[in-house]
A and B are shown apart, each in its own frame.
Chain A
């Protein structure tokens, strides 16, 4: 079993967390940061396996929380729950369609902060919430939805660069050739 796809996914998650925390242009322009982690979780759940979902949730959750005033671990469970549910139902989803990826990405991007917020509130903390929080949720959902099909394409291309192409089986088999005529 090759782990190239898993490593690629975690590398992209690492860079996504860095970009989220280091570049503040989206906050200035849109009033909210952009998060690539929920779309990556959708990819992990629809294309990869339980190992990818678990490692992505734990590592990306820890990376996100290390830059936040959230309690450590608050981002892990929401990410994992999203990936776990998608993993359970992925055979029923039209996962190759852009539209399905867009809807799942938007739903995951909206659900992740809401679940994280519930965990933060359950710890008795008082985050700064208001009408702007609703706007930020809309921005996260829309951008997450738009970015999810793009992430699927990007990772598919990167995967093609780093992994062996699938073996092409030639339907023509010389040993089964029917020879006609005189011999």
Chain B
């Protein structure tokens, strides 16, 4: 058998890869979203199957459980109504004080719920794809959260789907603050733990850091990407590095990014 076709194919593939790997970023992003749109019918099918299964489970819940849940939710609703009234009073007061001092008004964030439809096929990146795009009003850089805390930010936005880079990915650094001590640092990559995938490294801490396990970490609002006050996680341990020149800590992330199904996009 002649070897010539094999060498021709080898050359053609190498050439194709060289061209693809040197395309501009904007073209690559659009091409990726276009190629992955081939899978949309399958994602729709899986989504419908999930919904059907969920409906089936709901139909089988006993009436007594539903009534108990309803009662609990009513009580919770009353408490939340009171809390909301209190929060609104505080917000009004805050707005008035801002007007008096002349500070810029802060508009409240809106939420846009969306589903996670796909995960990165390479283990060395932490990205997911969500079913919200530019037609839903989302844009690049918006924060992604869950009820537990910060999840990541939007990296690439298509018309119907977008890529989210998760907290712990090298491309998603978060400026954070420790509530109890007021120390600020930068949340960088995941700690590389095999057993616990929720540990992330907190760097750029002051030399004489007073961190203790269990202290809570929130976004600081610095950098302008994430608004201040979003829960990020809790301190697991801290250590002195660089011959005592600075400190680092490990943070257990509040949101388990490996089990996410639904997330919220924060819209300004």
Q: B-contacting residues of A (Cβ < 8 Å)?
A: 14-15, 17-18, 20-22, 24, 27-28, 31-33, 35, 50, 53-54, 57-58, 62-77, 80, 84, 87-88, 113, 116-117, 119-120, 123, 126-133, 135-136
B101 at the binding interface (Cβ < 8 Å): no
Contact B121 A72 (CB under 8 A): no
Q: Which of B17, B123, B168, B169 touches A32 (beta carbons < 8 Å)?
A: B123
Q: Which of B5, B35, B38, B121 touches A21 (beta carbons < 8 Å)?
A: B121
Known: A28-B259, A84-B10. A69 touches B123 (CB 8 A): no
Contact B35 A33 (CB under 8 A): no
B165 at the binding interface (Cβ < 8 Å): yes
Give me 10 other A-B pairs in contact (C-beta within 8 A), A21-B129, A66-B35, A67-B36 excluded: A21-B39, A21-B121, A50-B6, A69-B125, A69-B171, A72-B20, A73-B21, A76-B13, A80-B10, A128-B190
Known: A72-B28, A73-B20, A76-B13. A62 touches B35 (CB 8 A): yes
Contacts of B191 in A (CB 8 A): 130
Report how far A117 CA is from B124 CA in the complex, Å. 9
Contact A69 B194 (CB under 8 A): no
Contact A119 B21 (CB under 8 A): yes
Across the A-B interface, the 4 shortest Cβ-Cβ residue pairs: A130-B192, A73-B20, A127-B124, A66-B35
A-B CB contacts (within 8 Å), total count: 153
Contacts of A113 in B (CB 8 A): 122-123
Report how far A28 CA is from B122 CA in the complex, Å. 15
Name the prevailing secondary structure of the A interface residues: helix
Q: Which residue of B lies closest to A88 (CB)?
A: B6
Known: A76-B16, A133-B123. A67 touches B129 (CB 8 A): yes
Contact A72 B123 (CB under 8 A): no
Contact A74 B21 (CB under 8 A): yes
Produce 1/0 per residue, B29-40, CB < 8 A to A.
Answer: 001110110110
Contacts of B219 in A (CB 8 A): none
Known: A128-B168, A132-B192. A28 touches B258 (CB 8 A): yes
Contact A132 B118 (CB under 8 A): no
Q: Which of A53, A63, A69, A77 touches B35 (beta carbons < 8 Å)?
A: A63
Question: In whole Å, how far is A11's beta carbon from the nearest beta carbon of chain B?
Answer: 12
